[in-house]
Structure 1
Amino acid sequence: MNKDQVIDETRQWVQKAVIGLNLCPFAKAVEVKQQLRYVVSEAETPEALLQELAHELLLLRRTDPEEIETTVLIHPKVLTDFLDFNDFQGAADALVEDLELDGQLQVASFHPDFQFEGTALDDITNFTNRSPYPTLHLLREESIERAVESMPDTDAIYEANIATLEKLGLEGWKALGLKTHG
């Protein structure tokens, strides 16, 4: 699989699911303004991915948000097992603290086999966090705060996402032409 294919499939997911289903009401403006950076990692170990994550976090911190608002770090060769990926989130959060970026940047996670605790693997609600490849989403805290201020009831986003996906169902998701899981 080449990088262009990985980016293309991820961009389609962003456009058809994240924006198309309005799973994140703040994503459209960033995508339209081309302020979303897509990076495909060649890392084959969690340690190598952590180094790339550090590089991308520091790059995002020093780059004007008008140029790069947010970054998705797609890593198709490492942490393909969801439990390993989920465990890695702790290391990602610790890295943010070690780099003294806590309060400035945060890392959200998406995975082809994402599964919320207490749900079945094929529960449609898991698809709010399902992506074509394991992906770390680097976000600016300031942008999150602005988004939250612009929408007084952010819990409504989560509730609307669940309702949208339950109405769509697995067949509807498949009709989008996106992967259902790894």
Structure 2
Amino acid sequence: MQNSDELVSKQTLKWVTSFIVDLNVCPFAKREVEHDSIRLSVVRSKKTAFALEELMAEIAWLDENTETETSLVVFPTLFSDFESYLDFVAMTEDIMFEQGYEGTYQVATFHPDYCFDGVEQDDVSNYTNRSPYPMIHLLREASVEKAIEFYGDTTGIPDDNIALMEEMGLEKVETILQSCLKPESAE
């Protein structure tokens, strides 16, 4: 049985708060959660071409709604295979470039089976980019630049996150991710 859009949204937001914010995986996320400036869009397309159209429609929505800083576009019914997801990411970046969005929006990638190139599938470092569902995170480039200016040097964030995952251990990190998928925890 498919999860409803409402449940997918709750589970995703639970992941944002209990993983991304609470563990400080992204030092900029807490502010956006507190300001309620994150949009979450559940896309149910079953074809890549339609999913790409919906993703570009989300970018057009962001263009018109500047009070929203960032958008998570979640694909609960598509891209269960990580390689097909990576192909979609490449298509996304290509069309964004073609349509003049380079420098306007930045893409961050998350997937339940995320695996960095050259890293074993069960390596805990992959959890820095693992999420309950395949998703594309659209960030406003100008806002990212302002946040970096305020924060300072951000080059150490990925290494700090990997160190945190290693310190916590695979079992604990996996438990946090799986807890987000429990319907009662998404309340």
TM-score scaled to structure 1, two decimals?
Answer: 0.93
Q: Report 1 or 2 for greater relative contact order, CA contacts < 8 Å, sequence distance ≥ 6.
A: 2
Relative to structure 2, which stretch is displaced further, 152-161 or 32-41? 152-161
Distance in 2 separating the partners of 1:24 and 1:47: 30
State how many pairs are aligned. 179
Distance in 2 separating the partners of 1:170 and 1:139: 28
Distance in 1 separating the partners of 2:103 and 2:174: 37
Q: Offset of 1:62 from its aligned partner?
A: 2.0
Q: Is residue 18 of structure 1 aligned with residue 20 of structure 2?
A: yes
The aligned amino acid for 2:169 is G
Q: Is residue 41 of structure 1 aligned with residue 36 of structure 2?
A: no
In the TM superposition, structure 1's runs of 4+ consecutive aligned residues that sit over 4 Å from their partners are: none
Structure 1 unaligned spans of 5+: none
Structure 2 unaligned spans of 5+: 181-187
Q: Is residue 7 of structure 1 aligned with residue 9 of structure 2?
A: yes
The aligned amino acid for 2:58 is E
The 3-state SS of whatever aligns with 2:92 is helix
* Residue number in structure 2 paired with 1:163: 163
* Residue number in structure 1 paired with 2:81: 81
Distance in 2 separating the partners of 1:95 and 1:101: 9
Instruction: Describe how 1:132-147 pairs up with structure 2 within 5 A.
Output: 132-147=132-147
Residue pair 1:108, 1:137 contacting (<8 A) in 2 also: yes
Distance in 2 separating the partners of 1:177 and 1:106: 24
Residue pair 1:109, 1:137 contacting (<8 A) in 2 also: yes
State the identity %. Answer: 37
The 3-state SS of whatever aligns with 1:38 is strand
Distance in 2 separating the partners of 1:50 and 1:38: 16
Could you tell me which of 50, 53, 56 is aligned with 2:52?
Answer: 50
Distance in 2 separating the partners of 1:39 and 1:151: 28
Distance in 2 separating the partners of 1:155 and 1:63: 30
The 3-state SS of whatever aligns with 2:44 is coil
* Residue number in structure 2 paired with 1:71: 71
Q: Offset of 1:152 from its aligned partner?
A: 2.4
The aligned amino acid for 1:48 is F
Q: Offset of 1:160 from its aligned partner?
A: 1.2
C-alpha RMSD of matched pairs (Å):
1.6
* Residue number in structure 1 paired with 2:185: none
Q: Offset of 1:94 from its aligned partner?
A: 1.1
